[in-house]
Structure 1
Amino acid sequence: MSERNAMAVATGELSNAFERRTSLCHPFLAVLPIDGAAISMLGAPFGIETVCATNPQAARVDELQIDLGEGPSWDAFSRRAPVFASDLTQPGRSAWPMLLAALSADAVGALYAFPLAVGSLEIGAVELYAESPGELTSAQVNDAIALADLAAVQLLKRAMASHELDAQFVPGEKEYSRRVEHQATGMVLAQLNVTAADAHIIIRAHAFAHGRSVRETANAIVERRLDLSSPNTEF
C-alpha cells in the first residue's frame, strides 16, 4: 500500500473511531516509521491516564511519563506543539533525565509527541516511539499532526460520553436557548472546520471544562465573547 493510500485508510479509521469503538492508536502505525504509539489524557477536567497503546512498550513509555511527570508528551501538551527526540542514544542531551534513566535498558531509540487539542481545549498527547534513532520527514510530521487532530476530536467524544451535561435552561427560555445553541454550533463549525455534530460536542466539552452551562457558553459564542478556535480562551 502506498503512503498516500495508507494515510487515507488511517484517516478514515480515526474519523469513525468513536462510533465504531476502534483504536485511536493503531492508525499511526500504518502511516509513520514507528514501532509503537500511545495516547494519554493529561489534565483537568478529563483526568490523567493512558487511553490506549499499541503494545506493552508503548504503554510503558507513556505510563513512565505520567508517573515521573516529565517527557515529550508533557512538553507537547504544555507547549501545544510537536516535540522530537530523534536520537536517545546521545548522552546528556535530554531534558528528561529520569525518563531516560528508566528507559535505559529498553529498545527505544527515538520519541516523538504531538499535542491533542481541539480549539481552546487541551486534552492530552500522542506519544510515538521507534526502536532505532531517526528523524521524521516534514511530510511525516504533517501526517502525524493531521492524525493527532482527528484523534483529539475522537478522544473528546469518548471523554464526554460519560458526562451528561445539562444545558441548564432558564424557565421560559428553552426555545430561545436551543436556537442560540444551534447558532453557536454553526459558528464553531466554521471556526474549527468540523462537522455540526463535532461542533456541538466541543461546545458541551468547553462548558464542562470551565464549569459553565451549555446555554452560557453558547450565548458567549454567539455574542462573540468566546472564540473556541483560540487557545486558552475564556469569557
Structure 2
Amino acid sequence: MASSQFDQVTEQFLHAVHAAGGGLPAVCAACVRVLPVRRAAILLDEHDAGIQPWCASDDSARRVETAQATAGEGPAVSAVHEGLPVLVTDLTAECEDWPGFAEALSGTPISGSLLAVPLRLGDIRIGAVDLYREAIGRPGPGFTSAALHVADLVTASLVLAAGDVTKQWAQPVTSRWIHQAAGLTSAQLGIELVDAYARLRGYAFTHGLSLVEVAHRVVDRRVRIEPE
C-alpha cells in the first residue's frame, strides 16, 4: 500500500472514530467503516485471564469472541501468542487447529473468513483485532496491508486512551465478572489465580456454558467450583 493510501485510511479511520463519538465501540466500528469487512472485534490480553473480548461490532462477532474466551484458544489467541496475523479462510470448516474453540463455536451460526491481527507496541502484544469478511478464502495483499495498518491505528488509540484519564475505557462488565469469579474460586479452593481461570474454563466447557455465564453464576453463588 502506497503512503498516500495509508494516509487516506488513517484519515478515514480517525474521522469514523470521531463521528461515532469516540471510545472503544467507535474504534471497533471504524474498523468496519474503513475496511471491506462485515464485522470486527477487539480483544485484550488480561494476563492470567488470557485473551478477553472488550468490544465487538455485532452479536455474531460477540458470540465468536465469547467462544474464544471460553476455550482459551482460537485465532486471536494464537495471533497474540505468536505475534503474527492468523487467517481462517473458512470459519465453518477450518478451525481444527483449535478443537476447544471449534466445539464452543459449533452452535454459532457464522460463516465467511477471519483475519486476527495482533495489536503490538514494540515487542509487547496487548491484544488483537479480529476482522470478519463475508467471503471465504485468502484475501488479497491490499486488504492485508490495510488491515495491518488499521491494527496499528487501533493500538495507537488504546495507548492514547491509557494516557488520558478522560478517555480511559472501562473494563467490560463481562470481564469484571470473570475476574471476580476467579478471585472467589481462588480463595475458596486455595489455588493460584491462573489455575482458577482454568477451572472456570473447564467447568464452562464441561457444562456447555460460556465463560461469562459460569462467572455470573459463581458471583451470584449459584455455582461453586468444587475441588478436584
* TM-score category, normalised to shorter length: 0.5 to 0.7
Residues 1:143 and 2:165 aligned together: no
Distance 1:97 1:45, change over 3 A: closer
Whole-angstrom CA distance in 2 between matches of 1:95 and 1:72 = 9
Alignment match, 1:98:
100
Q: SS in structure 2 opposite 1:25?
A: helix
Aligned amino acid, residue 100 of structure 2? M
Query: Cα offset for 1:129?
Result: 2.1
Whole-angstrom CA distance in 2 between matches of 1:46 and 1:6 = 37
Matches within 5 A, 1:180-219: none
Whole-angstrom CA distance in 1 between matches of 2:82 and 2:12 = 26
Alignment match, 1:133:
136
Distance 1:29 1:160, change over 3 A: same
1:61 to 56, 60, 64: 64
Distance 1:135 1:121, change over 3 A: same
- Deviation by residue 1:9-42 (Cα, 9 ceiling, x = unmatched): 433247869x943611112212333221100111
In structure 1, runs of 5+ residues without a counterpart are 163-235
What is the percentage of aligned positions where both structures have the same residue?
32
TM-score, with length taken from structure 2: 0.59
- Verify the 8 A CA contact 1:58 1:128 in the aligned structure 2: no
User: Which has more helix, going by share of residues?
Assistant: 2
Alignment match, 1:21:
23
Whole-angstrom CA distance in 2 between matches of 1:124 and 1:118 = 10
Whole-angstrom CA distance in 1 between matches of 2:114 and 2:52 = 19
Q: SS in structure 1 opposite 2:106?
A: coil
- Deviation by residue 1:27-78 (Cα, 9 ceiling, x = unmatched): 2212333221100111339975322110011111112111211100011101
